[in-house]
Amino acid sequence: MIWLFDLDNTLVGRAEAFGAWASAAVADAGGDGDDLAAIVAADEGGHGSKEALARVIVDRLGWDDDLPAAIERFRAGILEHVRPYEGVLFSLDVLRDAGHRVAVVTNGTSAQQRGKVARCGIEPHVDAIVVSGEEGVAKPDPRIVEIALEWLGAADADRRRVWMVGDAAHADVAVGRAAGTRTAWVSHGQAWDGPDRPDVVAPTTREAIALAASPQGAVVD
């Protein structure tokens, strides 16, 4: 089996890291709960415009930074706080020890995403890392899945034996569908509210892996 994992909010707690940084930044600036709520909302779980987020931060916290400097400032704060989810690296090791191939497939800039990978010690636990900013193509474009499979030496793999695992329906589930793989959605307790439910839905990445790797999740030839 081949496993392709999203990075943010799938292997590492990006939302938690941003929240921790934002809370400290608001406190340092003498802001209040409304400021924090506005900043977190503008982040859109990491999927919003970085320029729009920086503008909200500058306006709310009274920073003198221009927008590019503000972006670099909150990105550095995320790196400072980001951590892997408990037990998830062990789960990756279990998959690889069983002979499965594992890759990270993430949208973002090379510096930021590689920084998270390094900070969380992920590289020794996977076989490949594919970053959209390095490849010039991003989820949900299925070409990024093809690139990952090529890096794994599995370009001709049966797509029924490939899992795309991630928390973002519009990116992770969508790219898996577009590429013809199986899909596992990490819900973080949310309900799936769209059509075409993913093959697996679970509140955490470890639970998603367990379900996908179970006999019920296995491909029946």
Sorted by where each begins, the domain ranges of the chain are 2-12+84-213, 14-81
Q: What's the CA gap between 48 and 31, in Å, rounded?
A: 22
The helix or strand, by DSSP H or E, that contains position 201, with its residue range, turns out to be strand 200-202
Over pLDDT 90: what percentage of the chain?
94
Task: Return the residue matching tokens 């793999």.
Answer: 157
Single-letter amino acid, residue 49: S
**What digits encode the pLDDT tens for the residues 24-66?**
999 999 999 999 999 999 999 999 999 999 999 999 999 999 9
Question: What mean pLDDT is reported for the chain?
Answer: 95
The helix or strand, by DSSP H or E, that contains position 158, with its residue range, turns out to be none
* Chain centre distance of CA 91: 16
Single-letter amino acid, residue 107: N
Q: State yes or no: pLDDT of 212 exceeds 50.
A: yes
What's the pTM? 0.93
Q: What is the DSSP letter of 82?
A: -
Task: Return the residue matching tokens 């709310």.
Answer: 60
Q: What's the CA gap between 92 and 102, in Å, rounded?
A: 7
Which of 26, 30, 78, 79 has the alpha carbon at shortest distance from 56? 26
Task: Return the residue matching tokens 């892997």.
Answer: 84
Assigned architecture for domain 2-12+84-213 = 3-Layer(aba) Sandwich (3.40)
Query: What pLDDT, on a 0 to 100 scale, did the predictor assign at position 221?
Result: 30
Tokens coding 36: 């924090």
**What digits encode the pLDDT tens for the residues 86-108?**
999 999 999 999 999 999 999 99
Q: State yes or no: pLDDT of 123 exceeds 60.
A: yes
